[in-house]
Copies of this chain bind each other. A is one copy, B any other.
Amino acid sequence: MDANPILAQTMRGNWVENRHRGAYVVIDADGIIIASAGDIERPIFPRSAIKSMQALAIFARHADSQFHHTQEELALACASHTGEDLHVGVANGLLARLGLSADDLECGAHQPLDAAARAALRERGEAPSSLHNSCSGKHSGMLSVARAMGVPTQGYVNRDHAVQQQVRAVIEAVIGEPLSEARCGTDGCSIPTYAAPLRAFARGFARMATGHGLSTELATASQRLFDAATTHPHLVAGTGHADTLIMTAFKGRVMQKYGADGVQCGAISDKGWGYALKCDDGNIAASLAMVSALLLDIAEPDADQRKLLEGFANQPIKSVRGAVVGDLRAVVRQG
């Protein structure tokens, strides 16, 4: 297998310390490649980067008609949130309307990703609940699908449960390729994740951004989800998070979502392009540097957007005492 190119590296002093390889592709809904590097046909696990695709199941089963998801709830369904009160409240609100509670979530509990939220819990002497899990919005959305389908909610995370079959079907419809049991694993939040070519996920985002190649129903649903995410970027991630800051800065032009283990996906709406990127070694900070360099290159950022992206494309590395001793930087493509 050929090695993917080095797309980011860390410098310490005047010498390279670490090298991060990866692949990316920018593509339109027809499959025309705008830019790419590395092996874009290698199947990768998209993890949380495709939560907006998974959320299409809410519309496919008309859970939205039955439970009237707010735009905030739709944004949170697309989120890997940081467990702040705002996020917990929105997830809780939908669960209450479904006649369910945190006990019905099967994602497991972990400490909030947001440091202030962690400290607040600790001060109150409280353990985190599954509502603090960064995936609780997605899971609440999936529970609404179970309710709309009239199936038992228990076990909704399992691969053979009707909810996950539906989620799989909408992903296949959007990326235009079958998912396979031969390339399947379980995500950190216990739901299935299927590996597929980087190119297919990027094209899926282009199709969601434009509606081209999708049924009217899926096109409309995609529009509602992208609108929700870009209108409420704080709900899609949280305080200080790159996805929140990038979507805020681009004011609806860019849908951007990271996934665990170095995945970055999104769409540039006015261009009609989708993109997908995977850092081979799973490093999230490196993948952020890579995708920021990519957006600098293709998204025609204004001055403020450029400044933000340049900060992510070149992240300082500090000593314990806070001195800058190096940086993690995207490697400019050679031609």
Known A-B contacts A282-B17, A320-B133; the reply to A185 vs B325 at CB < 8 A is yes
Q: How many copies of this chain does one complex carry? A: 2
Partner of A262 from the list B18, B106, B195, B261 (CB cut-off 8 Å) is B18
Q: Whose C-beta in chain B lies nearest to the C-beta of A12?
A: B185
> How many angstroms from the CA of A64 to the CA of B3 in the assembled complex?
50
Most chain B CB within a 10 A radius of its CB, from A13, A183, A184, A189: A13
Are A320 and B110 in touch, CB under 8 angstroms? yes
User: How many whole Å from A196's CB to the nearest CB in chain B?
Assistant: 10
Are B281 and A14 in touch, CB under 8 angstroms? no
- Interface flags for A291-335 (1: CB within 8 Å of B; 0: not) read 000000000000000000000000000011111011000000000
Partner of A261 from the list B3, B18, B21 (CB cut-off 8 Å) is B18
Q: Is A205 an interface residue (CB 8 A)?
A: no
Give the residues in chain B near A110, CB-CB below 8 Å. Answer: 320
Q: Is the interface of A mostly helix, strand, loop or mixed?
A: loop
Q: Is A178 an interface residue (CB 8 A)?
A: no
Are A45 and B15 in touch, CB under 8 angstroms? yes
Give the residues in chain B near A15, CB-CB below 8 Å. Answer: 43, 45, 182-185, 195
Q: Is A93 an interface residue (CB 8 A)?
A: no
Most chain B CB within a 10 A radius of its CB, from A185, A261, A283: A185
- Interface flags for A78-108 (1: CB within 8 Å of B; 0: not) read 0000000000000000000000000000111
Q: Is A70 an interface residue (CB 8 A)?
A: no
A sample of 25 cross-chain residue pairs with beta-carbon separation below 8 angstroms, ordered by A number, consists of A11-B185, A12-B185, A12-B193, A13-B186, A15-B43, A15-B45, A17-B44, A17-B45, A18-B261, A18-B262, A18-B281, A18-B282, A19-B280, A109-B320, A110-B320, A186-B323, A186-B325, A187-B319, A187-B325, A189-B320, A190-B319, A190-B321, A190-B323, A281-B281, A281-B286
